[in-house]
């Protein structure tokens, strides 16, 4: 599968995963999806995450990952899957609070966000169980522990 990741940083890159790691985690979450995929990943601070969460979800606080699926207009097919916005300080804080390795939590956020881009959600208990099972399996394949066990 051909994968293009357009990566943007609005925060210092120190202690953030390398682009190659983000691509590896994205490939895992896209397993069996398509031949070619393009997606954007924007790594932001809490202020931008809170503003986007307020604008698009009507929630007045930062969230760890936001997923914006691309909805192509009628016409030729597009490789674009959508965009992820990941809040670096919140990911770091959650990993610490949950006693998880930071790298594992980053991988989880990428996998979780891409599953949202693929149409999965966790609004209903049944859907949440399906999505969580997929996350657990994909993260295990990447060498990470179950993210739902602290």
150 inside domain:
no
* pTM, 2 dp: 0.95
147 is a domain residue: no
CATH of the domain at 53: 3.40.390.30
**CA–CA gap between residue 24 and residue 130 (Å, rounded):** 22
pLDDT in tens, 25-75: 999 999 987 679 999 999 999 999 999 999 999 999 999 999 999 988 888
**Residue 125 covered by a domain:** yes
Residue 61 lies in a domain: yes
What is the total count of domains within the chain?
1
Which one is predicted more confidently, 46 or 124? Answer: 46
Domain holding 60, by residue range, is: 2-141
């Amino acid at each position: 599968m051909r994968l293009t990741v357009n990566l943007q940083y609005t925060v210092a890159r120190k202690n953030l995963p390398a682009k190659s790691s983000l691509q590896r985690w994205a490939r895992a979450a896209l397993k069996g999806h398509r031949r070619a995929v393009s997606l954007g990943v924007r790594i932001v601070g809490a202020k931008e995450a809170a503003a986007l969460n307020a604008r698009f979800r009507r929630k007045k606080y930062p969230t760890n990952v936001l997923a914006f699926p691309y909805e192509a207009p009628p016409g030729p097919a597009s490789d674009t899957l959508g965009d992820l916005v990941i809040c670096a300080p919140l990911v770091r804080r959650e990993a610490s609070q949950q006693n998880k390795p930071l790298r594992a939590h980053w991988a989880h956020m990428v996998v979780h966000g891409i599953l949202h881009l693929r149409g999965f959600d966790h609004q209903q208990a049944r859907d949440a169980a399906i999505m969580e099972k997929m996350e657990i399996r994909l993260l295990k394949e990447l060498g990470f522990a179950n993210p739902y066990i602290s």
